[in-house]
Structure 1
Amino acid sequence: MTQERDYRATVFLPKTDFPMKAGLPQKEPAILARWQEAGLYEKTRAARAGREKFILHDGPPYANGDMHIGHALNHILKDMVVRTQTLLGKDAPYVPGWDCHGLPIEWKVEEQYRKKKLDKDQVDPVEFRAECRAYAANWVNVQREQLKRLGINGDWDKPYLTMDPQAEGTIVSELLKFAESGQLYRGAKPVMWSPVEKTALAEAEVEYEDIVSTQIDVAFEIIESPIPELVGAHAVIWTTTPWTIPVNQALAYGPEVEYVLVDIGFDDRSSLKVLLNPDRWREFLQRTTASRFGRRSINEVAICRSDELWRGKGSDLAGTMVRHPMRHLGGFFAEPRPLLPGDFVTTDSGTGLVHMAPDHGEDDFDLCKAHGIGPKFVVEADGKYRADWPWLGGQGSVINPKFNAPDGPICSDLREAGGLLAASADYKHSYPHSWRSKAKVIYRCTPQWFVPMDREMGQRVSTSQRTLRDTALKAIADTRFIPEKGRNRIGAMVEGRPDWVLSRQRAWGVPITLFVDRKSGQYLVDPEVNARIIAAVKQEGVDAWSDARAQEYLGDEYQADDYERVTDILDVWFDSGSTHAFVLESGRWPELQWPADLYLEGSDQHRGWFQSSLLESCATRGHAPYKAVLTHGFTMDAKGLKMSKSLGNTVSPLKVMETNGADIIRLWALSVDYTEDHRIGDEILKGVADQYRKLRNTFRYMLGALADYDPAEAVDVAEMPELERYVLALLERLDATLRTAVADFDFNTYVRALIDFCNEDLSAFFFDIRKDSLYCDAPSDPKRRAYRTVLDTLFQALIRYAAPVLVFTSEEVWQSRYPGADSVHLLEWPEVPAAQADLARWEALRALRQQVTEAIEPLRREKIVGSSLAAEVTVPDDAPDADLAELFITATVTRGQGAGVAVAPTEMNKCGRCWRHLPEVQDDGALCARCEDVVSTLEASA
């Protein structure tokens, strides 16, 4: 028996210093520092200069607070878009930006005053705005470093800020385009108003929460009607906003709704006739019974059964007049109220009659305006009634539940006047809140500046569509949406939206730079005046808009005393909606161009930035500022719940980076189906980390296997073994899949295809089969050379595919193989060699290989064989032709009868170097012929 010898030194094992343990939290900052020192972003621009452009315009995050997981997902997706387009050879610059004006920042600065028990309104506005500017600048710097840490490659030294004087001047310029084309008007309409923040709000600034409100039924005495039976009876309305009763001016009925006169009897033998919808009177009875009808109890209810009671349609009520229950206060409250026809009146709830307060409802305002009834402007900015108002003057706030409670001042006064039929604080419903202060908002009629959606657009805009709404809807039809459902979502919003409320009553923002003629009420349109205003704001910022400089702007043609200088500021959505003009058109970033190829934000921006940008651009340029819009869903916790600090279920990307590194967050963000809401949590991140380790080990193996690779040893594809050609065909298929994924922005498919290829096609298949050739064949052996040629091809392709995803790890891998080389991120999409292979045949071989592996496993568990190399396998006769023993990594493979796979331990001896069981090996530990030749050659050259 041959004495066994240790042949390990003669085996060509992979050699690499690339560590299996990533240590990303420690390595990534150093890599980031090298990129910054080397000017990677500038090098990328230089490398792609003159190429086809791809412009992603960054939607500005708000400069307020640390980066959260939503920021991380959003910017990783943007970075993936930019990097993949760059990889394709395009010039894809990325200029980040921040939204710096608006209520959230102003609110935070006010909080600092409140803590000091100071009144912000007593501070000089210039000084206050300076504090807001400093607050925003601080958070811009904080967020910038946090986003850079994610590996986002962009022009971080030259971002765009909406508070930059040049940007503020451009925003003013865009506003004045609206003015010059006649697309502005000042009007009084009910708008969403925050009494806490004392300003109008856009729909995008409002969120809906479930609350419990007071519901009341109020009786209005009918004093005049074409129907004699109704005179002296009471029309009953139901509302969940008691605070609007002091501003009531009419009642509304549905013209096709049925109404009846109901006679209610009481235990004191008195009675009351009420008018309401017959389908609603039982619920009304339940409410009034529960409230004990003031101080009386109901003992009888009868619906018209006799000639003296009445039933009819709402249209019969035309001409009917009622009295307000607080008529004893005189003046406004003594005036009769008409019943008006309202198509919006339903019988889903209430009584079928609706009280109208044109100050506090859109339907109310429109219906009353159509009948010559205007708003009274009773509720002040802080939610209190005007001090001179006859009822509850100076009191409020109207959003205070105690003020509206059944025992509050409104209900108490109505009860005393005999007009309150029912009141209970138990009505559950959804109600709008300011997403910043979390306080309830109200509809409040105030003079505001609007952009009309349905007015014919001026000559300045070249478009075949006549109105802004039509132009915007046409632009939506012409835009690509990813996912496609976004088109219907924004389309429905634009189709049904009211006029755009531009004005806000705050201090921190871009002013509405208009002069209004005190006599005519018309704003001044003079291009020379506008040019002076724009130039001043671009030079000095928003503080340039002041009374002290009014005459300077008006020039010699006009007198400042004849004009009101508007002091409202612009809706912050107008700011961000104008960024396309400042960033893409101004020339400050000459590498950019208009329109953008892509806007990419969360799906909430269909009613926010996407829409404000669309409307702004359509009004001034006739079409959208983007060619495509991509939206992503929201990140939920591991259970699918919305993240909130109160629930303690938030996931901080900063902490994840401290523990796992940025590449793990990136891999997570690009693995989820971002088009829907998605999840993150510890277990999910553990799974992502496991996938990362597999990818890392794939590169580590290739680095080791290619340690001494010389391109001179490359083998032509035509001369390669069939297995190598098959793997190259798989690479070609992967390449096509990834190209399609990039075109579709389908990054979930991109990452999944890349991971599956590395795990299933390479590690579990190709690498597994070819390790024998790599370890044991002579370096000059054509099979080994062909394998390493394919490994080099795979490396060059996979490192490029992975670079946009694992930005730090790919750089580490690249520098490990090519120390001192330029960054991996300067490379372009790989050229994959074409290779012919019968993919269907190989899929059959792989399926058979899986059957063999499963058949061998029980023998391994029972230690009948130590490895698959010690197994002899029988496969069906119809198995495809190939070197099956090599593919299955077994001792032998023979074809036999039947359809199944049979396995038995081999009797052949094992080679002491390659461990294959071969008939030529005379004793265990002896060498096979191949290994004998290799060892002899090594010893001869030693």
Structure 2
Amino acid sequence: SGALLASEEIVHSYPHCWRCKHPIIFRATPQWFCSVDAFKDEACAACDEVRWVPGWGIDRMKSMIRERADWCISRQRRWGLPIPVVYCKDCGKPVVTDETIAAISEMFGKEGSNAWFDKDPADFLPAGMTCPHCGGKSGFEKETDTLDGWFDSGSTHYASMKRDQNFWPADMYLEGLDQYRGWFQSSLLTAVGAFGNGAPFKECVTHGWTVDGEGKAMHKSLGNGVDPADIFNKYGADILRLWAASADYHADVRCSDAIFKQLSQNYLKFRNTARYCLGNLDGFDPNNLVAPADMLELDRWAVTRLNALIEKCAQAYNDYEFLVVTHAVNDFCVVELSNFYLDIIKDRLYCDETDGLARRSAQTALYLILDTITKIMAPILCFTGDEIWLAMPHKAGDDGRNVLFNDMNGVFADYALSADEMAKWEKIIEVRDAVNGALETARAEKKIGKS
């Protein structure tokens, strides 16, 4: 009639299935709910007893619990753990009592949860049972919904620890960022709801996602995934482990061939340092170390620097900061050892009397260094650590089968130099660096040959 002022088509976002990409149709259906409101305060209080890594985890978890509506624990699917509820054929009301749960639990214990789908309620409910609501005797029908998968996984702390292993809670839960909404939270809620005595974990550690070299999420459909098998066929499994331990895993972690090439250089620095030590420990007896008072001061300097590495890595492992461990060991191999200490002791190791004090003093330091860094890196470079361990000499009491059967070393306090002595060596290193710089300039200008 000409009365329409204007018209236009609007394209707006609409939920689609992430698998088949088709639009989703919403339907209202009856569901089962857990009332989280009933114990929200207790759940939040339980968070205060947990060590969260990183520290912001506690605020994230508490805010999600406080904002949470009741938990829908039912799913309309053909597989999963059935919800153990029956309905009266007369009044249609749900029936779940101590007696019905005990009967169903006994059946599950004997035959597994699949028995629920195979049997009629009359086969497993108490004989002659009547409806507690209306007294009806017409019988019962089974619930067809299954439990939310998060309820399943959130209950594992009971099945895997409390019931069968007789310990609870777990020392640590480790999962991705999304599990504050999932496994972390469902475990916490089922524990507090069922037992009322805190979280099922003492510590909660969170990691990010693995993404490609450009920071994009990996998907099969995009073809930007990296197959771990390709990495360890090309670089070895230890490089893949070194990559995982060298990244700040609290955020998203990038994965690309260029990154593995760089890490292979770090790996070679560690491996070559170990080879240097092994080559110069041939015939050395670790049960006959040079006493601290008899060692050359430079060798004690090296052990003092090793002590600092031991303390730093012990704290980093305790904090699950694996990248601090890998970076600290790499820096130690490059800066303290390769650029300074190992370069200076070559003459002593190669030219001095085989069993002379000067050579054995350096060997004592090399043994302590090799023994220590092999144990520190063994949880990360497990194959390399084992290879070194089987090739190196051992002292009485070592378990020679595998490095991981041995404790990490504590600091070697008897070998440590004083603060004043270390300050003197820092000044010597300063002078040496300045002199080396001048020599390099002279060599570049063809004024001298070898430095």
Report if TM-score (shorter chain) is over 0.5. yes
Secondary structure at the counterpart of residue 10 of structure 2: strand
Q: Does 1:607 align with 2:184?
A: no
Q: Does 1:630 align with 2:205?
A: yes
Please tell me whether the aligned partners of residues 52 and 58 of structure 2 are also in contact (alpha carbons under 8 angstroms): yes
Q: Does 1:654 align with 2:232?
A: no
Q: Distance in 2 between matches of 1:865 and 1:493?
A: 69
Alignment RMSD (CA, Å):
2.2
Q: Distance in 2 between matches of 1:609 and 1:439?
A: 28
- 1:505 maps to 76
* Partner of residue 315 from structure 2, selected from 740, 746, 765: 740
Q: Distance in 1 between matches of 2:118 and 2:388?
A: 62
Alpha-carbon offset, residue 510 of structure 1: 0.3
Secondary structure at the counterpart of residue 511 of structure 1: coil
Q: Does 1:716 align with 2:423?
A: no
For 1:530-609, list aligned pairs within 5 A.
530-546=101-117, 548-559=119-130, 561-587=138-164, 590=165, 593-609=167-183
Alpha-carbon offset, residue 514 of structure 1: 0.9
Q: Distance in 2 between matches of 1:593 and 1:441?
A: 44
The percent of aligned pairs where both chains have the same amino acid is 40
Aligned pair in 2 of structure 1 residues 767, 864: CA closer, same or farther (>3 Å)? same
- State the Cα deviation string for residues 826-855 of structure 1 (Å, max 9, x = none): 111113311123333333322332222211
Higher RCO (C-alpha under 8 Å, 6+ residues apart): 1
Aligned pair in 2 of structure 1 residues 607, 712: CA closer, same or farther (>3 Å)? closer
Q: Does 1:772 align with 2:347?
A: yes
Aligned pair in 2 of structure 1 residues 793, 530: CA closer, same or farther (>3 Å)? same
For 1:114-513, list aligned pairs within 5 A.
296-298=3-5, 422=7, 424-427=9-12, 429=13, 431-441=14-24, 443-454=26-37, 467-513=38-84
- 1:691 maps to 266
Q: Distance in 1 between matches of 2:391 and 2:286?
A: 17
Please tell me whether the aligned partners of residues 516 and 563 of structure 1 are also in contact (alpha carbons under 8 angstroms): yes
Letter in structure 2 aligned against 1:497:
R
For 1:756-795, list aligned pairs within 5 A.
756-795=331-370
- State the Cα deviation string for residues 800-841 of structure 1 (Å, max 9, x = none): 001001001111111122699311111111133111233333
Letter in structure 2 aligned against 1:826:
F
Aligned pair in 2 of structure 1 residues 443, 616: CA closer, same or farther (>3 Å)? farther
Please tell me whether the aligned partners of residues 161 and 169 of structure 2 are also in contact (alpha carbons under 8 angstroms): yes
- State the Cα deviation string for residues 412-438 of structure 1 (Å, max 9, x = none): xxxxxxxxx8551333x4x54444444
Task: Give TM-score, length-normalised by structure 2.
Answer: 0.91
Secondary structure at the counterpart of residue 545 of structure 1: helix
Letter in structure 2 aligned against 1:611:
Q
Q: Distance in 1 between matches of 2:23 and 2:368?
A: 62
Q: Does 1:673 align with 2:248?
A: yes
- 2:220 maps to 645
Secondary structure at the counterpart of residue 412 of structure 2: coil
Q: Distance in 1 between matches of 2:318 and 2:71?
A: 35
Please tell me whether the aligned partners of residues 671 and 752 of structure 1 are also in contact (alpha carbons under 8 angstroms): yes
Secondary structure at the counterpart of residue 668 of structure 1: helix
- 2:305 maps to 730
Aligned pair in 2 of structure 1 residues 633, 548: CA closer, same or farther (>3 Å)? closer
- State the Cα deviation string for residues 645-700 of structure 1 (Å, max 9, x = none): 33322111121112111100100000000011121111111001110111110111
Task: Give TM-score, length-normalised by structure 1.
Answer: 0.45
Please tell me whether the aligned partners of residues 284 and 393 of structure 2 are also in contact (alpha carbons under 8 angstroms): no
Structure ranking higher in helix proportion: 2
Q: Distance in 2 between matches of 1:553 and 1:832?
A: 64
- 2:404 maps to 825
Alpha-carbon offset, residue 538 of structure 1: 2.6
Q: Distance in 2 between matches of 1:594 and 1:469?
A: 21
Structure 2 runs not aligned, ≥5 long: 131-136
Alpha-carbon offset, residue 546 of structure 1: 3.8
Secondary structure at the counterpart of residue 30 of structure 2: strand
Letter in structure 2 aligned against 1:822:
R
Letter in structure 1 aligned against 2:114:
D
Letter in structure 2 aligned against 1:836:
L
Structure 1 runs not aligned, ≥5 long: 1-267, 269-294, 299-420, 455-466, 869-942
Alpha-carbon offset, residue 443 of structure 1: 4.6
- State the Cα deviation string for residues 545-568 of structure 1 (Å, max 9, x = none): 147341233212414734332111
* Partner of residue 195 from structure 2, selected from 608, 611, 621: 621
Letter in structure 2 aligned against 1:747:
F
Alpha-carbon offset, residue 522 of structure 1: 4.7
Aligned pair in 2 of structure 1 residues 608, 434: CA closer, same or farther (>3 Å)? farther
Alpha-carbon offset, residue 513 of structure 1: 0.8
Q: Distance in 1 between matches of 2:378 and 2:60?
A: 34
* Partner of residue 436 from structure 2, selected from 853, 870, 894: 853
- 1:124 maps to none
Aligned pair in 2 of structure 1 residues 486, 607: CA closer, same or farther (>3 Å)? same
Please tell me whether the aligned partners of residues 726 and 837 of structure 1 are also in contact (alpha carbons under 8 angstroms): no
